[in-house]
Amino acid sequence: MNKVAVVVLAGTESHESLGRVVNALELAKELQEHDDEVTIVFDGAGTEWIPELENEQHDAHPLYNAVKGNIHGACRFCAKAFGVFKEIVETDIDLLDEYDQHPSLRNFIVDGYEVVTF
């Protein structure tokens, strides 16, 4: 069984960014379907995606919903820095502050995860 941490860093500013988040979610879905251990982290500008993908009208919402159970959370510091803290608090996505108010990617490495960034 594979152990993979999928980290979304792409913001919401371009069509290319949409492609990156969709590819991240597709990888998570593929891993999930093969019973691999997968966890998703939204970090940096990637935190902007949570409110976007929570919107049921967004084209990627069904894909997001399909892997939502594997979302570890979003960076607390970055959610504030990118202006989406309040919106994320209103969801059931955890805000991560394991290391200096950021998620600890080191913890995933120590636990044997491959870290894949988008």
Which DSSP helix (H) or strand (E) runs through 7? strand 3-8
> DSSP label at 3?
E
Q: pLDDT tens for residues 5-23?
A: 999 999 999 999 999 999 9
Q: What is the largest CA-CA distance in the chain?
A: 38
Query: Which is it for the CA torsion 70, 75, 78, 82, positive or negative?
Result: positive
In terms of DSSP H, where are the helices of the chain? 15-33, 49-54, 61-67, 76-81, 85-89, 105-110
Q: pLDDT tens for residues 27-73?
A: 999 999 999 999 999 999 999 999 999 999 999 999 999 999 999 99
Asked whether 4 and 37 are in contact (CB, 8 A), the reply is yes
Residue 67's pLDDT is what? Answer: 98
